[in-house]
Amino acid sequence: MIIVLKRNQEEEKVKSFIEMLTRKYEVTVNTWVGTHSTVLGLLGDTAAVDDEYIAAQPIVESVKRVQEPYKKANRKFHPDDTVVRVNENAVIGDGSLALIAGPCSVESREQICSVAARVKAAGATFLRGGAFKPRTSPYAFSGLKAEGLELLKEAKAETGLPIVTELMSIEHLPLFEDVDVIQIGARNMQNFELLRELGHVNKPILLKRGLANTIEELLMSAEYIMAGGNEQVILCERGIRTYETFTRNTLDISAVPILKRLTHLPVIIDPSHASGISWLVEPLALAAAAVGADGLIIEVHNDPSHALCDGAQSITPDQFDRLAEKVGAVTKTVRGL
């Protein structure tokens, strides 16, 4: 971190400022004294240094970070890829392309069990399905809640597929005992109290990028979870808000190689929420496979036109069969797997 001091500061003030920095943070301070101004270089653990606090000090002209503010998520300090392994078949981050599939929301036993059986047959290794649904309208179907979780368990018992489902409030955590991967939705990406609590949970967390959040903000949210001791975080790019209205969101495909460079955490793509349109799911999934994603999370419904949530972006089990085959072929070609 570089701190430029205001011009012509008294030596005593500079000295006590440097003393404060070394007392408050685990850093050493290098000083360059120019003709009019002084520049300080902070070395050490600058992740804990609050840039806004520094910038607010009367003798400071400007502050610039030269290192990323995230530490545990940073590839620089952890060069090897993190691999999240739920069971022998359900692995994310080992170089393969994991398929997580299932309906937006759990609607009935019949629905979740039939979709689970179909996606498993096509090669999915995780079952998705929302029980607690964040909906824009308070009048929309908001999930079967605890009953939905019970139905997911039944589908898991029938197929062996581990469960991925969204947690919206920490109060519901006791109900999630049999859930294998906890999803934190886009709307909760910066629910910092929730993220802190997840730091103490011994389960992988699938963290979705917020609708209007930067890549660095996504990494800082992962850092919240990791700082608490839970290092099993999977990042998910699910489209961001732009001025384009044709699609529900705009898939930031470049987020994949960027994140893979910045962090050791696995990165997956959600082409369903990124596009909002069922016929766009397959081409975006193919792009994700080509660009190096560690997995895909895809909404599959037995009867999309009657889905209680997100029918327009849901693909049928038959369409998922074809998609799985094609993404498998791309993965093979691009990664030699």
Binding residues for ligand PEP, per CB under 6 A?
104, 130, 134, 185-187, 208, 238, 270, 273
Q: Which of ligand PEP, Mn ion, none does residue 238 bind to, with CB < 5 to 8 Å depending on kind?
A: ligand PEP
- The answer to whether 51 and 21 have CB atoms below 8 angstroms apart is no
**Does residue 104 bind Mn ion (CB under 5 A)?**
yes
Please count the residues of the chain. 337
CB 298 to Mn ion: min, Å: 10
Neighbours of 312 (CB within 10 A): 14
CB 273 to ligand PEP: min, Å: 4
Nearer to Mn ion, 5 or 104 (CB): 104
85-108 b/e with 16+ CB inside 10 Å = b? ebeeebbbbeeebbbbbbbbbbbe
| Helix axes 215-227 and 255-262, enclosed angle (nearest 10) | 40
Q: Which of Mn ion, ligand PEP, none does residue 204 bind to, with CB < 5 to 8 Å depending on kind?
A: none
**Helix spans in the chain (H):** 11-24, 51-55, 109-122, 146-159, 192-198, 215-227, 255-262, 271-275, 278-291, 317-335
| Helix axes 278-291 and 255-262, enclosed angle (nearest 10) | 40
- Residue number, nearest CB to ligand PEP: 185
Give the span between the Cα atoms of 234 and 34, in whole angstroms: 46
Nearer to ligand PEP, 72 or 208 (CB): 208
Neighbours of 10 (CB within 10 A): 9
Q: Which stretch binds Mn ion (CB under 5 A): 120-128, 148-156, 190-198, 307-315?
A: 307-315
Q: Which stretch binds Mn ion (CB under 5 A): 9-17, 144-152, 214-222, 304-312?
A: 304-312
CB 205 to Mn ion: min, Å: 18
Q: Which of Mn ion, ligand PEP, none does residue 185 bind to, with CB < 5 to 8 Å depending on kind?
A: ligand PEP
Give the span between the Cα atoms of 234 and 75, in whole angstroms: 14
Q: Which of ligand PEP, Mn ion, none does residue 100 bind to, with CB < 5 to 8 Å depending on kind?
A: none
CB 15 to Mn ion: min, Å: 57
CB 186 to ligand PEP: min, Å: 4
| Helix axes 317-335 and 109-122, enclosed angle (nearest 10) | 30
**Does residue 310 bind Mn ion (CB under 5 A)?**
yes
Checking phi first, is residue 40 left (phi over 0); if not, alpha (psi -120 to 50) or beta? beta
Q: Which of ligand PEP, Mn ion, none does residue 145 bind to, with CB < 5 to 8 Å depending on kind?
A: none
Residue 205: which of 185, 191, 220, 190 has the closest Cα?
185
Nearer to ligand PEP, 115 or 186 (CB): 186
CB 270 to ligand PEP: min, Å: 6
Q: Which stretch binds Mn ion (CB under 5 A): 37-45, 103-111, 146-154, 329-337?
A: 103-111
Q: Which of ligand PEP, Mn ion, none does residue 68 bind to, with CB < 5 to 8 Å depending on kind?
A: none
CB 40 to ligand PEP: min, Å: 42
| Helix axes 109-122 and 146-159, enclosed angle (nearest 10) | 40
Q: How far is Cα of residue 296 from the mean position of the Cα atoms in its chain?
A: 12
Nearer to ligand PEP, 231 or 299 (CB): 299
CB 128 to ligand PEP: min, Å: 7
Positions in the binding site for Mn ion (CB under 5 A) = 104, 310
